Each structure stands twice: as C-alpha cells, then as structure tokens.
Chains A and B, each alone.
Chain A
Amino acid sequence: MTVIAKVRGTTAPQHAKVVRRGGAPVWRAVRFALLLAFVVLFLIPVYVLLVTSFKPLTEADPSQAWNLPRTWTTEAWQVAWERLAPGVWNSVMLAVPGSLISAMLGSMNGYVLSKWRFAGADVVFTLLLFGMFIPYQGVMIPLVQLLVGLNEITGTQLFYGGIPGLTLAHIVYGIPICTLIFRNYYVTIPDELIEAARVDGAGMLRTYWSVIIPVSGPAFAVTVIWQFTSLWNDFLFAVFLTGPQSWPATVMLNNIAGAQTVPYSQQMAAAILASIPTVVIYILLGRFFMRGLMAGALKG
C-alpha cells in the first residue's frame, strides 16, 4: 500500500500524460529488450540439445561443453534412433487411435451436455470435470489390478503390459478434457439451428450428424492435437502399465538417458527425436494447440 500511496502522491495526471507521450518509445524499447533476453534464456536448453547431439564422442569434454561441435556428425542420432525406434512406433500406435477415439467421445458428450441436456446435466458435467484434475496416482493401483484381471479373463497380454490397455486408460481419463473442449465450443452454436432441425423432424443423432458435425472441424483439431500431445508425452501411465515390448518413446528415452554409460550426445539426440512429432504439430498448428491449452482454464 505504501508504494501505491507514494506513486499516487508523486505523479499528477498531467505529468502521467507527458510521461506516456514522451516515454513510450523508450519503454517500448525496454520491453522489447527484456522480451528478447527472455527468448535467449528460453532457448538455452534448445541450443544445448542441438549442439550436443551433433558432437562426436571425442568432443565430449567438459571444457568444450558450450562450444559448437568442431566436426558435425550424425553418429549420435543414428545410435539414438536405433534404440528409440521401437518406442516411437509404440507411441504412434498409442497416440493416433487414442486421440481420434477421444475426440469422437468428447464430441458426443459435448453435444449432449450443451444442446440435448437432461436433468442433472450440470452436476454430471462438474463430476466429469473433477476427473480432469485427479492425480492419476490415486487410481493407478486399482487400474493395474483391473488390467491384470482383464488379461486373465481374456487370456491375453493386451491390457496390462499392452498398448491397448494403455490406450484405454488414456481415452477414459481424457474424457473430461475432451468433453469440456467440445461443450464450450458447441455452446456458441445458436440453439435456433438445433430447433430448426427438430422442427424439420430430425432426431438427436440426425441433428448431430447433419448440423453439428459439419461445423465441428476446429474443435476436432483442438482436441486431437491436445490428446495426441498428452498421449505422446505421457510417462506416468506408461511406466505403470506397460512392459518392455510396449514401452512408448518417453519410457524408452528415460531408459536410454538414465543409463550412465550412454554418452550425452546420444541422450540429447534421443530427446530431440522423441519430441519431434509434438514440436512439429506445435509449429504447424500452434493456433489450435493454444486453444486446447486455454480450454482447461477459461470457461464459457
């Protein structure tokens, strides 16, 4: 409060106007410089990743840690790819179907909860949302037991220790966020459109198919990107639910990087390789990525 009082005491309104007019370009330059400084700070890890990954083993010396490689080589990348490839493939098998199914479920739920509401829909929605915030540790032990049980019943290895089990977990725990994104999107569609379809004799599914789906493109993009990124980057579910055969890229990467014997160049190359899909999506479709991010925080 004292600071505010002081500021208020010393700056008269007229003075402020002078400062605003005269000081603005300087202030703008200062802001720009500060923002640039933060860009440098933010990019330090990227520099290290790239530079280290192209270094030959002979240059893995602490004294050259921050230098550019004297000889650029993709040796580390080749070794890293050989080790990481099975995990990358598993991640594709997980994230592509997982994110598509999640989006379909989210779309149906969002449609009903915004346009075809039943008594208690709000309570259901709030109960769903809690699922978005639960720490998954709290369901992990029962989930493992359930998937082990499903393995025994079906006589397969599909659920516990398999990609299908991991995908199932991600789809189920992704329902809340996907529903939220679609619900908030559908709320903006005028109710008159739905009513008009109803007057024309279209039922719920018919309306969904011919009125809602055709305008759902952006929401599908947001949801698929969001889910793909979280499935691709997940470690917690993967480390609890999968085995060596089904380890996705994150677990493989952690195993590669955790081994003391693996040189830094290979660790860094592997880290970049494991991040390429999500970073490419971010660069190409950042707009939709942003909207997914905001969906979790800003409602309505």
Chain B
Amino acid sequence: MTAKTASVRARMPRWLPGLLLVSPSIVAIAVFVYGMLGWNFKVALSDQHDEVSEGSFVGLENFINIWQETRWILSVQHAIVFTVVFVGGALVLGWFLAFLMEKGIKGEGGFRAIYLFPMAISFIATGVVWRWLMNSATGERAVGLNALFRFLGLDFLQWQWFRDPDWGMAAMAIPAIWQMSGYVMALFLAGFRGVPEELREAARVDGCNEWQVYRWVILPHLRPVTLAALIILGHISLKVFDLIVSVSGKQIITDVPAIFMWTAVYDAHDPAKGATIAGYIVLSVAIFVVPYLIWNARREKRK
C-alpha cells in the first residue's frame, strides 16, 4: 500500500465507497420507480386527455369521474372475482399439495418438478392452450374441456367458461391457479419442513394426536409463509394482464383495470385516463404491500 492511497483511505469515511458503488442503482430506482410513480400521478391529476396538449392540474377529477363509467365498474368487479378465486384457489391447492408431501413421499422430487414447471412458462404461452381448453362451444361443436366432459358423459359440466357473463372471471382464474399453485406448494413445503421435529415429538409426548399437533404446532408455524404467499399472489392478481390478453384479448367480458389502462393509452389515446387507472392499480397493491414491507424490515431489525 502506498503512502498516498493510505492517506486517502484515512480521510475517506469507511462507508463512503459502499455508498458510491450502489449510488447508480439508488439513483435509477429513485428516478424510475419513485420519480415515475410521481409523474404518473401528476398526469392522472391533470386534464391531459390527448397526446399533444400540456394538461393542467384538475385535482382528483379523473379519479372521481371514472366511477361513472360502466366499463370501469365492470373491470373492478372482474378484478375482485378474479382475485378471490385465484388467491383462494392457489392458496388452498398449494397448501394441499404441500400437505400431501410434507412427510416425504416416494418420487417427491418428480412431483415437485411437475407442479412447479408452469412457473417457467409465460402467461402468453399458457393462455394459448387454455383458450383452447376453455373454448365456450358446447354440444357437437365442443372442443377443449367441454369436449372432454362430453366424452366422459359429464355433459352437465359444460359451460361458457370465461365467456360466462357472471362467473367468467372465475374461469379465467383457473389457468392462473394452474400456473401459481406449484409456487405456493414450494413455499408451504418449506414452511412445513421448517417446523423442528422435536417440537412435533414434544407435542406427541404431551398427548397430542396428529390432528392436534397439526392444529396447535404446525399451523401457527405456517403463518408467516401464508402471509408471504398472500402478498405475492395478491399483487400478481391485481395487475393481471398477460394472461387475459392471451386468453380473450381486449373483450369487455373479461376486462380488468390493467387491460382498460392499455386501451386507454393505445386505443383511446387518453394519457390522463390511463394514468388514473394505473394510479388505482398502484394504490390497490401499495395498500397491503407497504405495511408488509415495513413490518418485514422491523422484524429483520429485531433479529
């Protein structure tokens, strides 16, 4: 070490080089995440309803007026149905698969690999096959699952799938469950395995039967995993876009806010409206993710 670098190093606070090394990333996130979120809200609070005008501040006008649009109400309802069915379905199925596997089973690696592989595929590719599977034609012209039901003599199960006016979004959640429940399984499996065997054994020695061990020892241990899974599934669900584009395109019958926003920007050429919808999507995610992140940071600090 030369005298010069030594003196430079002595004068420089120990933390400075670290800060310098991460500063490009900090600046990038500050600009591209926080700056652009702010910019988006600025557009949403303006009357920039075409691509050339400057737009002036109009307060919450866009956020309020959008509730008078039938399409918006419909897309919000769709998002709610989709979220409930998808999050609930993926959580229950993922938990159940993990429950079946938690004590170890022959071929576990194979099972896990098969349940998880849909995660490696894009929603767009998934959508191609699910659109065929959930084809709404029935009777003679039925293809996909409707044809399978017909073949199995289960004709009464045939329905319109995602074209059903009331429960179409529940059908739309099926591919999403298919895609994500393996992930939930992996999370829960890690959760199950995280329960120390001594703890189970101790409960058994204390006279608990298997159900009681499950209820009073294992379930409480799964709470953090369940929360993490809820957060992940929830934020995926509220911004769902690819899957719906791929299965049904821009049809109103499966419209969700993310699709509405896309058409507002590229078909209606209305930046303020697009930004308003985007703003609502951000808020709906932030409302539960921000508390979660703060809670997580505090928990880590305590450790």
A residues in contact (CB < 8 Å) with B = 4, 7-8, 11-13, 15-16, 19-20, 28, 31-32, 34-35, 38-39, 42-45, 48-49, 52, 62-63, 65-66, 105, 108-109, 111-113, 116-119, 122, 124-131, 133-146, 169, 172-173, 175-176, 179, 201, 203-205, 229, 232-236, 239-240, 250, 253-254, 257-258, 264, 267-268, 270-272, 274-275, 278-279, 281-283, 286, 289-290, 293-294, 296-300
Query: Closest residue of chain A to B33, judged by CB?
Result: A131
Interface-located stretch among B22-30, B56-64, B161-169: B22-30
A105 to B22, CA, bound (A): 8
C-alpha gap A125/B113 in the complex (Å): 32
Question: A235 contacts B22, CB within 8 Å?
Answer: no
Contacts of A63 in B (CB 8 A): 147
A197 to nearest B CB, angstroms?
Answer: 13
Partner of B285, one of A8, A45, A135: A135
Residues in A whose Cβ lies below 8 Å from that of B80: none
Contact A31 B105 (CB under 8 A): yes
- How many angstroms between the C-alpha atoms of A233 and B123 in the bound complex? 8
Contact B239 A135 (CB under 8 A): yes
Most B C-beta atoms less than 10 A away, residue of A117, A169, A290: A290
B89 adjacent to chain A (CB < 8 Å): no
- With a cutoff of 8 Å between Cβ atoms, the chain A residues found around residue B217 in the complex are none
Contact B143 A65 (CB under 8 A): yes
Report which B residues bind A (CB closer than 8 A): 1, 9, 15-19, 21-22, 24-26, 28-29, 32-37, 39-40, 43, 97, 100-101, 105-106, 111, 113-133, 137, 140-144, 147-148, 151, 178, 182-183, 186-187, 190, 207-212, 215, 225, 228-229, 231-232, 235, 238-239, 241-242, 245-246, 249, 257-258, 261-262, 265, 271, 274-275, 277-279, 281-282, 285-286, 289-290, 293-294, 296-297, 300-301, 303
A-B contact pairs, 25 of them (CB 8 A): A8-B209, A19-B210, A32-B105, A35-B101, A38-B97, A39-B111, A42-B118, A42-B182, A43-B114, A63-B147, A109-B21, A116-B18, A128-B25, A130-B293, A134-B33, A138-B279, A140-B278, A172-B28, A172-B29, A173-B33, A239-B262, A258-B249, A275-B125, A293-B119, A297-B187
On chain B, the residues within 8 Å of A52 by CB distance are 132
Within 8 Å by CB of B300, from A11, A44, A49, A300, lies A300
Since A48-B133, A118-B15, A274-B124 are in contact, a sample of 17 more A-B pairs with Cβ atoms closer than 8 Å, ordered by chain A residue number, is A7-B211, A8-B209, A11-B211, A38-B115, A42-B114, A42-B118, A48-B129, A65-B144, A126-B293, A126-B294, A134-B285, A172-B29, A239-B245, A240-B265, A278-B120, A283-B113, A299-B296
Q: Is there contact, CB below 8 Å, between B187 and A298?
A: yes
Q: What are the 10 A-B residue pairs with the smallest beta carbon separation, nearest first?
A: A16-B209, A233-B122, A116-B18, A118-B15, A138-B282, A135-B239, A282-B120, A142-B39, A139-B36, A271-B128
The DSSP consensus for interface residues of chain B is helix
If A42-B118, A118-B15, A124-B26 touch, whether A204 touches B129 (CB-CB below 8 Å) is: no
**Cβ of B228 and Cβ of A257 under 8 Å apart?**
no
- In chain B, what residue has the closest Cβ to A175? B25
Residues of A within 8 Å of B119, CB to CB, are: 282, 289, 293
A34-B100, A122-B297 are contacts. A11–B32 as well, Cβ < 8 Å?
A: no
A72 to B236, CA, bound (A): 39
A235 CB contact (under 8 Å) in B37, B143, B245: B245
A residues in contact with B125, CB < 8 Å? 250, 253, 271-272, 274-275
CA distance A71 to B40 in the complex (A): 55
Contact B120–A289 (Cβ < 8 Å):
yes
- CB pair B17 A204 closer than 8 Å: yes
Instruction: List the B residue with the shortest CB-CB distance to A202.
Output: B1
B122 touches A134 (CB 8 A): no
- Shortest beta-carbon distance, B176 to chain A, in Å? 13
Interchain CB contact under 8 A, B238 and A119: no
Does A175 contact B28, Cβ atoms closer than 8 Å? Answer: yes
* CB-CB nearest in chain B for A135: B239
Chain B hits for A62, CB < 8 A: 137, 140-143, 147
Chain B residue with Cβ nearest A257? B128
A235 to B239, CA, bound (A): 13
From B209, B245, B265, B303, A300 is in contact (CB under 8 Å) with B303
- B115: chain A residues at CB < 8 Å are 38-39, 42
- The residue that B258 contacts in the complex, of A8, A111, A126, A137, with Cβ under 8 A, is A137
CA distance in complex: A59, B48 (Å): 53
Chain A residues in 8 Å Cβ range of B97: 35, 38
Given contacts A117-B18, A118-B19, contact A294 B296 (CB under 8 A): no
Q: Please give the distance in Å from B243's CB to the nearest CB on chain A.
A: 9
| A268: contacting residue among B29, B129, B144, B209, CB under 8 A | B129
